[in-house]
Amino acid sequence: MKFTCWQPPVLLSILAVTQLVGLALFARGFFPYKVYLPGFTDASQTPPWPDGSSQEPPIIEPQFDRLIFIVIDALRNDFILGQESAFDFVKSRIESGEAEAFTAKATAPTVTMPRIKALTTGTIPSFLDAILNIAESDTSSSLQYQDNWVHQLKFSDNRTIHFFGDDTWIRLFPDMFTEKEGTTSFYVSDTVEVDFNVTRHIKPVLSKQDWDAVIFHYLGLDHVGHTGGPRSPLMKPKQREMDQVIESIFEIVSVQDAHRIRHDADAKGTLMVICGDHGMNEEGNHGGSSVGETSAALVFMSPRFGSRPTLNRAASRRFKVEEEFTEVYGYPVVEQVDLVPTLACLFGFPIPRNNLGKVIVPMFTRQSSQSSLLRALQLNAYQISQLLKEVDDAFKRYLDNNATGIQAGTEVDPYSIKLLNEAHVAHKLFIQESTVENAEVAARAYLEFITFAQSKLTNTAGDYNLNDMSIGAVLILASALTFSTWAIRRAKFEKPAKLSFSQVFAIFILCGFAVSMFASSFIEEEHLIWYYCTTTALLLGLLESMGISGMPLYEKVMLVLSCLLQMVLLRLSTAWNSSTYAYIEKSLFGAEWHFLAASLVMCFLYGAHLIWNIGTKTGHHSAATTVVVSSSAGYLQLMIKIASIFIMGLCSALVMLYKVRVDGVDGTVPALYGRDLPEALEFATQLDQVALGKLIYNYCGASLFVFTALVYVTETAAVLHLPESDEGHSGYSSRHYLDGLLFISTPLWILFTRTHFAALFILFTIQFHLMRRWQSRLRSSGVYQQQQPGWFLAITATCMAHAAFFMTGHTNSIAAVDLSNAYIGISDYNAVIIGVLTFCSNWSTSIWWMIVGLILLLDGAAKDRTAEQRWWDYIVTQSAIFALFIAALSISVTLLREHLFIWTVFSPKYLYQVAWTCLFHWIFQALIGTVSMKLYHTDEAKASLN
């Protein structure tokens, strides 16, 4: 393909569309909805008793007739079972034998919607549910037509179910609840009202006794984790609040059960289930596969447990089932999906047909009847064998033919059939002879078969559409190769002789990074790669500075010192989240608040200096030149300058106040910020957090509007009265505008960043200033023909943007997605707005460096008419970089789709890379960059007309 000068806009658009279509196809093939068996199981589809008798009930004798199901979002196992737990009542019930405790292991992605699906259907949800988990309006993943215990419980005996809490349940189970009230799950700054709106229903609803099951889903503990982590000072009070909620419910049902059992011989009692849908990591987030995120608490509690001696934890059992449990905190570990068949057998309704769980044996070995456990295991084995035969044709033929033994040449694993036969025979003998030995043999064989079937079904759970993946990968790869060829040719166009060492090294680094996409360890440690690439880019600048000939020694020394200082600042930035900040925090009281204030003050001073000098150009080693304007325009310009500076300063102060309110609850805020600042901003102290957030947005918008007006007035006046000697006016307002955009928006990016990372903006600002001075000195020396090439700036900006992303504690795990700042100023849920704020809050530092890249690109354009060429060098190189990365990753996940870490490492990385490519690159870089270049050409046109 021949890349001519008039082709770039058209070619860029074609390649972008090709890439996005390829991404859509690939994602559809890689993240499909799993295929589930349609319909619902009923009592007629359950297996007969092994001896062929028509015993009653046809399914299993229920142990309970009422259910209280309490989900406490992000209830990690140690929050109940650990030594520092504040669930005093729950722990006392466990110790007294009125509760049975477990650790329930969840699978990635550990976010609410997939975990609710697992808790109710017994299936392993699709990874795509992690995305749908954010879209509150999404109904495409409803469980209305998938078998689940909520449906079975309701329709098995026409039961009444109420629900209060996270409205995800209402979307998943439409028209299933008699009474219901949902709460928004993503308004993470609310840790009080979101739980109060659930708790207030407890006494009114439970006292009516017109219910058979009530489901509560509390969100406050999860919100505490998101805002402050598991060690937050709000965590213990929230745990005590939840403990008191459980205690109040237990007292109500205890009284009701005692009364019901006295007056109704058929009454069974109430079972309370307290569980977490997932856990959380040490940052308070979740979504990944770390131990903290996948370890949720699970407690079965009932007043009847304490009234039956055989149910006591220390009581002797009549027979022993040899099933080994891993123990954590002294309690067994089970799979989260095991809850589904356990509930089904405890309440006597059919096990949902897509269930992959295994009945929790300790809940049945507590019972006095061995028959109950064996029947539960028989039902579980039968249900999972029906699921297994749907993916194994040979096994299906065997079951459908009602074979009683292993046929010669069979394709079925003889071990599985042997286990089924052994369990069936031993169970039948137990019914006839009631011997403990037969019961133990049957239970062991059932459990081994269920474990075998679980393993086989789990291994076949990845349902990829290879056709879509292949077509998508081809389109993505074609786009990447075209972009790469285009970028290399443009780089050689500037220096036709051959590629320089810097260019060769840059290509080597980028290709090396693309290759690293094939290794899970490199993906998990990607931050180290970007730190290395960024440091190397600065080192290359240092080497080039030392090799410049004909430059005065002083200038060369300043260039070298500038590069060295940038490398020092980069090292401080990369270590900030680990050693640097920890050391400073120990040495200085209220360090994070001083750094926050310093970062806001620095951006204000830079912005104020910029605004005040608009209309005056100051070049290096040149005198200031004032743009001539009329007196009326001059007064207007002065008033706008004062207003703009005032609004920007007020906005910075409000950001400081907001941060103090949110994060200053632990007594570490110095009096200057915790007491004096609110007194100075008395008008803002009357506002709640939502109103204060909206006020900050309004002032940021007003500041940007006033600054735009200032640039417009100055530009108009300058065009009308431009002196003939001022040849460097063209494009001046565009560069001023980008500078202004950077420093006016910086308080907003600081607002979106966790408080202790605000100091990074100080280091970033100094580094930006050094880069600008370094580039200016290179231009003055004649290197790069008055301007650094666009490809070099593109690589530098890419490295800094990615490094800054990881400097703020982010990783390639879904758990690293920070929601704590995504709801600032938001009172009602809106998927689009929340999505934009979530992206901005997680990519805030990267967006900051993206703007810096555009500023460096336009610097020096006043005397250089090749800005358009540099812009295309820049954007084409950026596009080639991101296209190469997403192409390599697409090929990687296709080839490694059966890898052990495909869902815990590669899939999250793919989602992140899609966000980098589609949102960061195409929307932010390409869109904002194009607008900036349009402004530049508009300025140039005005100058030529003048």
Handedness of CA 421, 427, 432, 436 (dihedral sign): positive
| Single-letter amino acid, residue 222 | D
Pull the structure tokens for residue 380.
């579980």
**Chain-centre distance for alpha carbon 611:** 38
Q: How far is CA 795 from CA 422, 562, 582, 800, in A?
A: 66, 19, 31, 9
The SS3 call for residue 437 is helix
In the chain, what is the straight-line distance between the N-terminal and C-terminal CA atoms, in Å?
A: 40
pTM over 0.85: no
DSSP letter for 923, please.
Answer: I
> Cα(82)–Cα(105) distance, rounded to whole angstroms?
16
> Cα(14)–Cα(757) distance, rounded to whole angstroms?
39
pLDDT, residue 413, reads: 60
pLDDT, residue 623, reads: 38
- Angle in degrees, CA 345, 351, 355, rounded to 5: 125
pLDDT, residue 489, reads: 82
pLDDT, residue 723, reads: 43
pLDDT, residue 366, reads: 64
> Cα(206)–Cα(212) distance, rounded to whole angstroms?
10
pLDDT, residue 725, reads: 37
Long-range pairs, 721-727, Cβ under 8 A, ≥24: 721/627, 721/628, 721/629, 721/630, 722/627, 722/628, 722/943, 722/946, 723/628, 726/617, 726/625, 726/627, 727/863
Residue 211 backbone zone (phi > 0: left; psi -120 to 50: alpha; other: beta)? beta
Mean pLDDT by 10 residues, the chain (946 residues): 62 93 92 70 83 69 93 95 94 92 90 89 74 51 82 90 93 90 74 91 92 95 89 93 96 93 87 95 84 94 71 46 74 94 94 92 75 90 86 70 46 70 87 85 91 79 78 95 88 56 75 88 91 86 71 78 89 81 66 90 90 64 45 76 91 93 76 85 86 92 87 66 42 64 92 91 93 78 59 88 93 81 80 86 94 84 61 90 95 87 85 94 86 63 50
> Cα(419)–Cα(452) distance, rounded to whole angstroms?
10
Say if strands 331-335 and 327-328 run parallel, antiparallel, or are unpaired: antiparallel
Q: Do 130 and 109 form a contact (C-beta atoms < 8 A)?
A: yes
Question: How many residues in total does the chain contain?
Answer: 946
In sequence order, which residues have a C-beta less than 8 Å from that of residue 289 and are 6 or more positions away? 107, 108, 110, 813, 903, 904
**Cβ atoms within 10 A of the Cβ of 619, count?**
14
Phi (first) and psi of residue 685, to 5 degrees: -70, -15
